[in-house]
Structure 1
Protein backbone atom coordinates (compact mmCIF):
# COMPACT_ATOMS: atom_id res chain seq x y z
CA UNK A 1 0.00 0.00 0.00
CA UNK A 2 1.30 3.43 -0.94
CA UNK A 3 2.07 5.90 1.81
CA UNK A 4 -0.81 8.36 2.10
CA UNK A 5 -2.25 11.03 4.33
CA UNK A 6 -5.45 13.01 4.59
CA UNK A 7 -5.98 16.39 2.98
CA UNK A 8 -6.45 18.04 6.38
CA UNK A 9 -3.16 16.62 7.70
CA UNK A 10 -1.32 17.73 4.57
CA UNK A 11 -2.90 21.19 4.73
CA UNK A 12 -1.74 21.54 8.34
CA UNK A 13 1.86 20.83 7.28
CA UNK A 14 1.71 23.10 4.23
CA UNK A 15 0.08 26.01 6.06
CA UNK A 16 2.68 28.75 6.27
CA UNK A 17 5.22 26.85 4.16
CA UNK A 18 7.28 29.05 1.83
CA UNK A 19 7.46 28.05 -1.82
CA UNK A 20 9.28 27.01 -3.87
CA UNK A 21 10.22 24.09 -1.62
CA UNK A 22 11.83 20.75 -2.30
CA UNK A 23 10.69 17.39 -0.96
CA UNK A 24 13.28 17.34 1.84
CA UNK A 25 12.11 20.73 3.11
CA UNK A 26 8.52 19.47 3.13
CA UNK A 27 9.56 16.30 5.00
CA UNK A 28 11.21 18.45 7.68
CA UNK A 29 8.01 20.52 8.01
CA UNK A 30 5.97 17.33 8.50
CA UNK A 31 8.49 16.02 11.04
CA UNK A 32 8.29 19.29 12.97
CA UNK A 33 4.50 18.96 12.97
CA UNK A 34 4.93 15.51 14.51
CA UNK A 35 2.86 13.84 11.79
CA UNK A 36 4.57 10.57 10.84
CA UNK A 37 1.77 9.57 8.46
CA UNK A 38 2.29 12.76 6.43
CA UNK A 39 6.08 12.40 6.64
CA UNK A 40 5.80 8.99 4.93
CA UNK A 41 3.41 10.35 2.29
CA UNK A 42 5.69 13.29 1.46
CA UNK A 43 8.77 11.04 1.31
CA UNK A 44 6.94 9.07 -1.41
CA UNK A 45 6.61 12.05 -3.80
CA UNK A 46 9.19 12.84 -6.50
CA UNK A 47 12.32 14.68 -5.28
CA UNK A 48 11.69 17.87 -7.23
CA UNK A 49 11.10 21.51 -6.35
CA UNK A 50 7.43 22.33 -5.80
CA UNK A 51 6.31 25.83 -6.75
CA UNK A 52 3.14 25.87 -4.66
CA UNK A 53 1.09 23.97 -2.12
CA UNK A 54 -1.29 22.88 -4.89
CA UNK A 55 1.60 21.15 -6.68
CA UNK A 56 2.35 19.22 -3.48
CA UNK A 57 -1.30 18.30 -3.00
CA UNK A 58 -1.41 16.99 -6.57
CA UNK A 59 1.65 14.79 -5.90
CA UNK A 60 0.82 13.33 -2.49
CA UNK A 61 -1.36 10.24 -2.23
CA UNK A 62 -4.43 11.30 -0.26
CA UNK A 63 -6.97 9.19 1.58
CA UNK A 64 -10.54 10.27 2.02
CA UNK A 65 -10.73 8.97 5.57
CA UNK A 66 -10.29 12.07 7.70
CA UNK A 67 -11.10 11.37 11.32
CA UNK A 68 -14.28 13.28 12.34
CA UNK A 69 -12.26 15.47 14.71
CA UNK A 70 -9.97 16.45 11.82
CA UNK A 71 -12.99 17.49 9.75
CA UNK A 72 -14.41 19.52 12.63
CA UNK A 73 -17.33 17.13 13.07
CA UNK A 74 -18.35 15.54 16.31
CA UNK A 75 -19.26 11.91 16.59
CA UNK A 76 -22.15 10.89 18.84
CA UNK A 77 -20.75 7.36 19.21
CA UNK A 78 -22.79 5.90 16.35
CA UNK A 79 -19.99 6.32 13.81
CA UNK A 80 -22.02 8.99 12.02
CA UNK A 81 -21.18 12.69 12.14
CA UNK A 82 -23.43 14.66 14.44
CA UNK A 83 -26.01 16.92 12.79
Structure 2
Protein backbone atom coordinates (compact mmCIF):
# COMPACT_ATOMS: atom_id res chain seq x y z
CA UNK A 1 0.00 0.00 0.00
CA UNK A 2 1.39 3.41 -0.94
CA UNK A 3 1.04 6.55 1.10
CA UNK A 4 1.60 10.26 0.75
CA UNK A 5 3.72 12.77 2.62
CA UNK A 6 3.68 16.46 3.48
CA UNK A 7 5.86 17.31 0.49
CA UNK A 8 3.39 15.85 -1.97
CA UNK A 9 0.44 17.58 -0.33
CA UNK A 10 2.24 20.93 -0.48
CA UNK A 11 3.24 20.33 -4.09
CA UNK A 12 -0.23 19.44 -5.37
CA UNK A 13 -1.91 22.47 -3.78
CA UNK A 14 0.79 25.03 -4.64
CA UNK A 15 -1.29 26.68 -7.39
CA UNK A 16 -4.48 27.03 -5.35
CA UNK A 17 -5.82 30.55 -4.85
CA UNK A 18 -6.32 30.83 -1.10
CA UNK A 19 -8.57 30.97 0.80
CA UNK A 20 -9.87 27.72 -0.61
CA UNK A 21 -12.32 25.05 0.41
CA UNK A 22 -11.88 21.31 0.52
CA UNK A 23 -13.47 20.71 -2.90
CA UNK A 24 -11.20 23.27 -4.58
CA UNK A 25 -8.16 21.65 -3.00
CA UNK A 26 -9.17 18.19 -4.24
CA UNK A 27 -9.84 19.46 -7.77
CA UNK A 28 -6.48 21.23 -7.94
CA UNK A 29 -4.67 18.19 -6.55
CA UNK A 30 -6.16 16.04 -9.31
CA UNK A 31 -5.16 18.62 -11.95
CA UNK A 32 -1.63 18.64 -10.51
CA UNK A 33 -1.33 14.87 -10.88
CA UNK A 34 -1.64 13.92 -7.22
CA UNK A 35 -1.38 10.27 -6.29
CA UNK A 36 -4.53 8.47 -5.17
CA UNK A 37 -3.29 8.44 -1.53
CA UNK A 38 -2.80 12.24 -1.67
CA UNK A 39 -6.30 12.78 -3.06
CA UNK A 40 -7.68 10.41 -0.42
CA UNK A 41 -5.84 12.34 2.30
CA UNK A 42 -7.35 15.61 1.06
CA UNK A 43 -10.81 14.02 1.04
CA UNK A 44 -10.29 13.31 4.74
CA UNK A 45 -9.72 16.93 5.82
CA UNK A 46 -12.47 18.91 7.53
CA UNK A 47 -14.74 20.91 5.17
CA UNK A 48 -13.35 24.33 6.10
CA UNK A 49 -11.84 27.31 4.34
CA UNK A 50 -8.05 27.07 4.36
CA UNK A 51 -5.97 30.24 4.30
CA UNK A 52 -2.71 28.75 3.00
CA UNK A 53 -0.84 25.55 2.18
CA UNK A 54 0.46 25.17 5.74
CA UNK A 55 -3.10 25.01 7.10
CA UNK A 56 -3.89 22.30 4.56
CA UNK A 57 -0.79 20.30 5.46
CA UNK A 58 -1.60 20.51 9.18
CA UNK A 59 -5.09 19.14 8.55
CA UNK A 60 -4.11 16.12 6.46
CA UNK A 61 -3.83 12.78 8.23
CA UNK A 62 -0.49 11.17 7.55
CA UNK A 63 1.04 7.90 8.65
CA UNK A 64 2.81 8.22 12.00
CA UNK A 65 6.08 7.24 10.32
CA UNK A 66 5.89 10.00 7.73
CA UNK A 67 8.96 11.98 6.77
CA UNK A 68 8.71 14.66 9.45
CA UNK A 69 11.81 13.51 11.32
CA UNK A 70 10.33 13.71 14.81
CA UNK A 71 11.89 11.67 17.58
CA UNK A 72 9.79 9.19 19.57
CA UNK A 73 9.74 11.70 22.45
CA UNK A 74 8.45 14.44 20.18
CA UNK A 75 5.74 12.16 18.78
CA UNK A 76 4.68 11.29 22.34
CA UNK A 77 4.50 14.99 23.20
CA UNK A 78 2.34 15.60 20.13
CA UNK A 79 -0.01 12.85 21.26
CA UNK A 80 -0.29 14.35 24.75
CA UNK A 81 -0.84 17.93 23.66
CA UNK A 82 -4.07 19.01 22.08
CA UNK A 83 -4.10 20.72 18.73
CA UNK A 84 -6.46 22.60 16.49
CA UNK A 85 -9.68 20.68 15.82
CA UNK A 86 -9.16 18.42 12.81
CA UNK A 87 -5.39 18.86 12.84
CA UNK A 88 -3.32 15.79 12.21
CA UNK A 89 -1.54 14.69 15.38
CA UNK A 90 1.79 14.37 13.56
CA UNK A 91 1.71 18.02 12.53
CA UNK A 92 0.98 19.57 15.91
CA UNK A 93 3.61 21.95 17.18
CA UNK A 94 6.05 20.30 19.52
CA UNK A 95 8.93 21.89 21.41
CA UNK A 96 12.49 20.69 21.01
CA UNK A 97 13.62 18.25 23.68
CA UNK A 98 15.61 20.02 26.45
CA UNK A 99 18.83 18.28 25.45
CA UNK A 100 18.47 19.56 21.87
CA UNK A 101 17.99 23.12 23.14
CA UNK A 102 21.16 22.76 25.23
CA UNK A 103 23.13 21.38 22.28
CA UNK A 104 21.94 24.26 20.12
CA UNK A 105 23.10 26.77 22.76
CA UNK A 106 26.52 25.08 22.94
CA UNK A 107 26.94 25.30 19.17
CA UNK A 108 26.18 29.04 19.16
CA UNK A 109 28.66 29.70 21.96
TM normalised by structure 1 equals 0.66
8 Å contact 1:20–1:50 — kept in the other structure?
yes
Q: 1:20 matched to which residue of 2? A: 19
Match of 2:48 in 1: 48
Q: Which has the larger radius of gyration?
A: 2
> Per residue, is there more strand in 1 or in 2?
1
After TM superposition, the score normalised by the length of structure 2 is 0.52
Over 4 Å off, 4+ runs = none
- SS at the partner of 1:11? helix
Mind listing any 5+ residue stretches in structure 2 that lack a counterpart? 68-109
1:52 and 1:12 map into 2 onto residues whose CA distance is: 13
Q: State the number of aligned residues.
A: 63
Structure 1 counterpart of 2:32: 33
Structure showing the higher helix proportion among its residues: 2
Higher relative contact order (CA 8 A, sep 6+): 1
Q: Residues 5 and 61 of structure 1 are in contact (CA less than 8 Å); yes or no, is this contact kept in structure 2?
A: no
